[in-house]
Structure 1
């Protein structure tokens, strides 16, 4: 089910392929996805760096 299906008065089967509002929604959704992915990638690398440093200082640090 498309998100616009229940609230768009001009909805008909297949209209999302040419609808400007749908394209705008998809572009905003893609941009949001890119921002979230960049955030997760950044903090994943940051955490990996901290973990790598901990292992370097004390290889048995997780066993405590």
Structure 2
């Protein structure tokens, strides 16, 4: 089911293909996803750098035993 199907007064089957509101919503979702991916990439890069520094200093012993 399309997210606009319940809220759009002009909904009809297949109309999302040419709907400017639907396209704008999709573009916003793409921007949000790209922003989240960039945040996760930077966080991963930062964590890897800190982990590398800990290993180089000899303070990293590996994962904790459970």
TM-score, reference length from structure 1: 0.89
Match of residue 22 from structure 1: 22
Could you list the runs of 5+ residues in structure 2 that have no partner in the other structure? Answer: none
Contact 1:5 1:11 in 2 (8 A): yes
Match of residue 34 from structure 2: 34
Provide the C-alpha distance between the structure 2 equivalents of 1:20 and 1:63, rounded to a whole number of angstroms: 50
Could you list the runs of 5+ residues in structure 1 that have no partner in the other structure? Answer: none
Pair 1:63–1:34, CA change in 2 (3 A): closer
Aligned CA-pair RMSD? 1.7
Match of residue 54 from structure 1: 54
Provide the C-alpha distance between the structure 2 equivalents of 1:47 and 1:55, rounded to a whole number of angstroms: 12
Q: Which runs of 4+ in 1 moved over 3 A?
A: none
CA shift digits 1:27-52 (9 cap, x unpaired): 11101111111111001100010011
Residue 16 of structure 1 and its aligned partner are, at CA, apart by: 0.7
TM-score, reference length from structure 2: 0.87
Counterpart secondary structure, 1:24: helix
